Chain A
């Protein structure tokens, strides 16, 4: 596992209150109750702090799954 994955899993598992092994790419916001608006806010700000990037408001609303986060983050870190 890369350092990148490790850090991201740490944030997601703590904010969404699930074990790291249970976090799959297709985990969706609307299907998963603990992923409420406050958890979303925590995930976004922790990722911003950890990877020293920031998300546009439109990007934040457009995150619907773990996969979305990974894609967005890769794109941000590449640019």
Chain B
């Protein structure tokens, strides 16, 4: 497998991806059930989609997943979707790509007749087109628990109406733009169906090049050999987000990265940084970084400099966009960068594989990627005017929902830094925790917090006892079920509101409650909050006359911080089956109390 993937990795051309796909298919491997890295993918639609499926399949494998791909027949998606015994439903799909082009739905004479259609007719056809797509989508939604990726329409470049196309209420282009807007509006609130912006991807690539007319007429292949892998990348963004592979933190070098020149040599007046050239390119790069910070990407610094020189820029330079408060942590020293990055990961408390490193110096980049292959080391362009474009094309920070926690994450890290300062001045850990005024709210999750809960389930790696990745649909099923309880935990202290940072899922089984999932954002580790969380579950269990609480633990490469949770809280008799160790807390003999420095609130009784 490694050998097959190698050529696709070094040169991900269409031919190499296709070849790798066919070779892998010939091996007939089944993806392991119940492995978090298994991805069951279905690609269905109105055209010949094996090429797109092949690129997506292999590119997903290159990210380390086991993939099983189902490709629908040529324009048979309706039957596949409606017939619940069709091959589409034979496997429990994780992701379904629904690729439909407008021409397959519209009347064959649509283009020819468009100029003579009335506004009313155009409106009706547009509505029908959109509803057509949405009805397929809603059938998929009710028949599966998959994430559904449906594309919007490519707005054509040609219009029979010529330059006055937009002088009409619904011109030819506006017909498709309007359909796209309607699709987006209808799916806006849907957390399982995502509208893939094919029109935008096509524009970026060049609409005149997205189709190879030879293969289109010969075999109804909808996208050209050059565009298909690019489009696969666009779909891959959703898969990465679904599987919790989003990058979370950007580690930045300073000299020739955030500003031009070397602060230690050129001085604060000498560096290139300003609202006109030279230096505007750095200001714009920083503005872009700030836009990512404002939606929850963590920023950190790793620079070889004298701290006083570097900090002076942040404090005094009039054009500096990013300030000290935007950084969760800073390493400005003469230590090697790989060591600094390891310390940053520890200090911020995230995995190295969530980090991205930007440095203009290829030697530093090589050193970091050699020591930490998990860190994504970005090949920076030599030309700083291209930094902005580089970051805009990265597409590695995608999440499937942006929560209020994302928006204020930056501020939370400032709170974290202040907490660390307080911790260092406190005489004991309990003293420190007492002074924090910790308030913890634990409830069955409500509608408002569900997206955040799903997000945490999807991306929490370290303090996660079982790392079971449930989808939005599954979580909602649990919420409705009488056999399950889904808890969410929000945390507040005197430095600010952390929002929802913990999730537990309990499976009720007669006199036993099983803790199927228990996870907490790494931000709040070390404040005994997990004890309060377990105490709440114990309290509810007692109310329900439950005899035992059984906690499950599945070890992964990353979740050692959570490995002793049950042991620490008095659970005993560990028994291991397959990968799962279960720990028992006998409620007749034992209990767990909320620590005295934590105030527990519960909304409902």
Residues of A within 8 A of B (CB): 11, 14-15, 17, 34, 37-39, 41-42, 44-46, 48-49, 54-55, 57, 60
Contacts and interface: CB of A to CB of B under 8 A. Distances in A.
Contacts of B23: 17
Interface stretch (B39-47, B215-223, B337-345): B215-223
Interface in B120-147: none
A41 B22 contact: no
Interface in B196-238: 212, 214-215, 218-219, 221, 225
A14 B15 contact: yes
Contacts of A41: 215, 218-219, 221
A48 B224 CA distance: 12
B16 A45 contact: no
Interface of B: 15-16, 18-19, 22-23, 26, 50, 212, 214-215, 218-219, 221, 225
Interface of B is mostly: helix
B16 A14 contact: yes
Nearest to A13: B19
A42 B219 CA distance: 10
A17 to B, nearest CB: 6
A44 B218 CA distance: 10
Contacts of A15: 15, 18-19
A6 B374 CA distance: 37
Nearest to B215: A45
A55 B217 CA distance: 12
Interface of A is mostly: helix
27 contacts: A14-B16, A14-B18, A14-B19, A15-B15, A15-B18, A15-B19, A17-B22, A17-B26, A34-B22, A38-B50, A39-B22, A41-B218, A41-B219, A41-B221, A42-B15, A42-B18, A44-B214, A44-B218, A45-B214, A45-B215, A46-B15, A46-B225, A49-B212, A49-B225, A54-B214, A55-B214, A57-B218
Given A17-B22, A45-B212, A60 B15 contact: no
Given A15-B15, A38-B219, A45-B225, 18 more contacts: A11-B15, A14-B15, A17-B19, A17-B22, A17-B23, A17-B26, A34-B22, A37-B219, A41-B215, A41-B218, A41-B219, A42-B15, A45-B214, A45-B215, A45-B218, A48-B214, A49-B212, A55-B214
Contacts of A14: 15-16, 18-19
B72 to A, nearest CB: 14
Interface centre among A37, A41, A44, A57 (most CB of B within 10 A): A41
Contacts of B16: 14
Nearest to A49: B225
Contacts of B225: 45-46, 49
Contacts of A54: 214
Nearest to B20: A14
